[in-house]
């Protein structure tokens, strides 16, 4: 693995063709992206300057990173659309591997493609794995001391860097205690999730349960199943109370 690192930042070449669009117009198209782990959880795409097709207009502003150095900020312009301060370049970075690259703000772009498939939220991490296994283990979930789910047919999702997640059939869940939420989230490995809040009569717990109604192909096993935040509920596995995990979702 060809890696250039400084502090907690890791840089390595990507193998996928990557494209970014703004208002339906091409911003960048590269077969040589770089994956840059600015945070431990997932990488960002940095694109060679020569593979940028949009106009980059200097804003006159800079941004400092202790590990990457000073970045020049640019507006991104295509015909009929622009995104303010949506690109940056670390031309004098202490990391030589990123000096000639451009980083686009993910959310500022309208669409990202890896090869010919859309990807959401952030790039897929090549070292990230998701395994979904059918199980006969007994899973019981309590909220405020009330059993809100009880199942012996979970699908257990094992995902790199996260605790196991127990996806349960809706007939095994007290759906009478669930209220649909307007909240949505996106995962590059599983797809779009919708949420429920839970109220056992002792006050509402917002967005405590989620489901993937139409997950991505590789995660079809969890379609329509309900999953509770272990960080915020009491989960009994085969009768044994589990310690609440500590994650950035807590």
- In this prediction the pTM is 0.85
What pLDDT shows up at residue 65? 95
Residue 175 lies in a domain: yes
Q: Is the domain of 77 the same as that of 178?
A: no
Domain that holds residue 136: 130-241
The reply to whether 207 and 161 lie within a common domain is yes
pLDDT, tens digit, 9 for 90 and up, residues 170-188: 999 999 999 999 999 999 9
- Tell me: pLDDT of 2 over 70: no
* C-alpha separations of 246 from 71, 158, 193, 243 in Å: 33, 16, 21, 9
The sign one gets for the Cα dihedral 163, 168, 172, 175 is: positive
In a domain, 90, yes or no: yes
Q: Does the pLDDT value for residue 100 go beyond 50?
A: yes
Q: Does 75 share its domain with 142?
A: no
Burial of 4 (0-12, 13-18, 19+ CB in 10 A): middle
Residue 87 located in a structural domain: yes
Residue 248 lies in a domain: no
pLDDT at 99 over 60: yes
Query: CA–CA separation, 57 vs 85, rounded Å?
Result: 9
Q: What is the pLDDT of residues 64-96, one digit of tens each?
A: 999 999 999 999 999 999 999 999 999 999 999
Question: What's the rounded Cα separation, in Å, for the pair 203 and 144?
Answer: 9
My answer on whether 136 and 171 are in the same domain is: yes
In degrees and rounded to multiples of 5, residue 83 shows phi and psi of -130, 120
Does residue 74 sit in the same domain as residue 106? yes
Exposed, middle or buried, 180 (CB in 10 Å: 0-12/13-18/19+)? exposed
Kindly state whether residues 94 and 30 are assigned to the same domain. Answer: yes
Q: The domain that contains 193 carries what CATH number? A: 2.170.150.40
Verify that 94 and 140 share a domain, yes or no: no
Can you say whether residue 207 is alpha, beta or left, with left for phi > 0 and alpha for psi between -120 and 50 degrees? left
Is residue 250 in a domain? no
Give per-residue pLDDT as tens, 51-67. Answer: 999 999 999 999 999 99
Where is pLDDT greater, at 28 or 40? 28
Count structural domains, the chain: 2
């Amino acid at each position: 693995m060809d890696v250039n690192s400084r502090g907690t930042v890791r840089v390595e070449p990507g193998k996928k063709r990557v494209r970014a669009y703004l208002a339906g117009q091409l911003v960048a198209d590269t077969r040589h992206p770089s994956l840059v782990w600015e945070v431990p959880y997932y990488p960002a795409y940095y694109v060679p300057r020569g593979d940028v097709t949009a106009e980059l207009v200097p804003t006159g502003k800079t941004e400092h990173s202790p590990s990457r150095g000073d970045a020049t900020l640019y507006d991104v312009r295509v015909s009929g659309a622009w995104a303010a301060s949506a690109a940056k370049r670390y031309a004098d970075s202490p990391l030589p591997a990123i000096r000639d690259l451009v980083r686009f703000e993910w959310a500022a772009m309208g669409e990202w493609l890896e090869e010919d498939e859309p990807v959401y939220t952030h790039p897929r991490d090549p070292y990230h794995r998701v395994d979904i296994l059918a199980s006969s283990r007994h899973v019981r979930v309590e909220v405020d001391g009330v059993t809100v789910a009880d199942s012996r047919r979970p699908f257990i999702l094992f995902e790199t860097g996260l605790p196991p997640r127990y996806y349960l059939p809706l007939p095994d869940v007290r759906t009478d205690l669930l209220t649909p939420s307007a909240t949505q989230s996106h995962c590059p490995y599983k797809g779009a999730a919708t949420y429920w809040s839970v109220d056992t009569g002792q006050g509402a717990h917002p967005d405590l349960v989620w489901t993937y109604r139409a997950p991505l192909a590789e995660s079809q096993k969890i379609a329509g199943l309900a999953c509770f935040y272990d960080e915020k509920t009491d989960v009994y596995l085969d009768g044994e109370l589990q310690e609440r995990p500590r994650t950035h979702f807590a």
